[in-house]
Each structure stands twice: as structure tokens, then as C-alpha cells.
Amino acid sequence: MRVVTSAESRFDMGLGAAWFWPNVNNRRFAQNAIQEAFWAAVLVSALAAIFTAILLMSQDETSVSPIGFINSAVFGGLAFGIYRRSRIAAVSAFVLFGADTILQFATTGPRGWIFRGLITLAFFHGVRGTIAYHKLPALPANLPGIEQSFQTVRQTSPQPENGLEKSPRKLAFAILPAHRLISS
């Protein structure tokens, strides 16, 4: 009987299937889904601010309100919450963007549905990722950090002979006196 690990199943699915429904059963894959939602929220926030500024600077200023800047700030705050792995922020971003998409489709028709669908899917991945991340067991308290790992490697690396480092400059100074003795 062959046991399929999560990494094997992710690669066996193919790139398209892995993006449309990522595996979130371990910490790394859940964090990838969370990062996807974070960048989607940053993109929505930036685009909202840019398009609102462009519309406010255009000739017809009467039909545009600066509410787009509030929308940009809200999605910027939600992006920060998603980055901090908040389930409430991920669900809020998904619901707000989904509601905005439905409202836009009802008022102007289905324009930009591919872009909006992909962003909504990214927010849904963030919801799945944050929920899965919080269901995973906590990391052990005595797990070494990256600094401790490098200190361990530095302590176990072999020391050069005679206290000389293997840099060309220090070797040249160490060889120079011997060369003078030979030429004299």
C-alpha cells in the first residue's frame, strides 16, 4: 500500500488544479494560500486608490465620489489582517469583494468577470488557508530559530590550520615573509 504525502498530491494535481484548489493541509501550503489572499487584497487596495485618483482628476468630477479611497483603506487594512493570519480579515475580504462583485454585475453587467472571479477565488483561498492554519498544531516551543541553526553550523565547521583563514589576502601576507627569506 502506497501512502501519498501532501507534497506529492499537490504536484500530481498539476499547476492549474493546484492554483484553483490549493492543498492547505500543512503549514507551508496554508501560508501560501494566505499570501495569495494578502497580495490580492494589496492589489485591490492599490487599484481602488489609483482608479479613484484618476477619476477625481478627470474633467467630469461631479459623478465621482472619494469613497474609493475609503474602499482602498478598508482593503489595505484587510490585507494587513490577512498577513497577520486573521480569519476575520480573510472572511471579511472575501464577503466584501464578493458583494461588490455582485453589486457591480447587477448595475453594470458582467464586465471584468474573469479578473473579479480570480480575485474572489484568491480571497476564498485565504479563508481556507487561515482556517486551516489555525487548526494545525502549534510549533514546539524548543524549535530552534534560524539564528541558532547558523550558530550551530558555525560551531561545527572545521577550523583552518595555523589559525589562518582561507582568504587570498591573508594567505598572501602569510606567504610574503617566507618568500623574502628565500630570495635573500
Q: Is residue 77 part of a domain?
A: yes
Residue 91: its pLDDT value, please? 97
78/41 Cα distance (integer angstroms): 7
36/30 Cα distance (integer angstroms): 10
92/79 Cα distance (integer angstroms): 10
Q: Is residue 148 part of a domain?
A: no
Grid-cell match 498530491, residue found: 9
Q: Is residue 184 part of a domain?
A: no
Residue 9: its pLDDT value, please? 47
25/22 Cα distance (integer angstroms): 9
Q: What is the mean pLDDT of residues 22-30?
A: 86
Q: What is the mean pLDDT of residues 75-85?
A: 96
Q: Is residue 91 part of a domain?
A: yes
Q: Is residue 180 part of a domain?
A: no
Three-class DSSP category at 52: helix
* pLDDT > 70: percent of the chain: 69
pTM attached to this predicted model: 0.68
Q: Is residue 95 part of a domain?
A: yes
| Domain count within the chain | 1
Residue 25's CB is within 10 A of a number of other CB atoms, namely 14
The whole domain housing 32 covers 6-135
Q: Is residue 73 part of a domain?
A: yes
Closest alpha carbon to 73 in 100, 53, 49, 97: 49
Q: Note the Cα 72 to chain centre separation in Å.
A: 20
Q: Determine what percent of the chain falls in helix, strand and coil, rounding each to the nearest 5.
A: 75, 0, 25
Residue 45: its pLDDT value, please? 96
161/127 Cα distance (integer angstroms): 56
pLDDT tens per residue, range 84-140: 999 999 999 999 999 999 998 999 888 888 999 999 999 999 999 999 999 988 877
Q: Is residue 92 part of a domain?
A: yes
Residue 68: its pLDDT value, please? 87
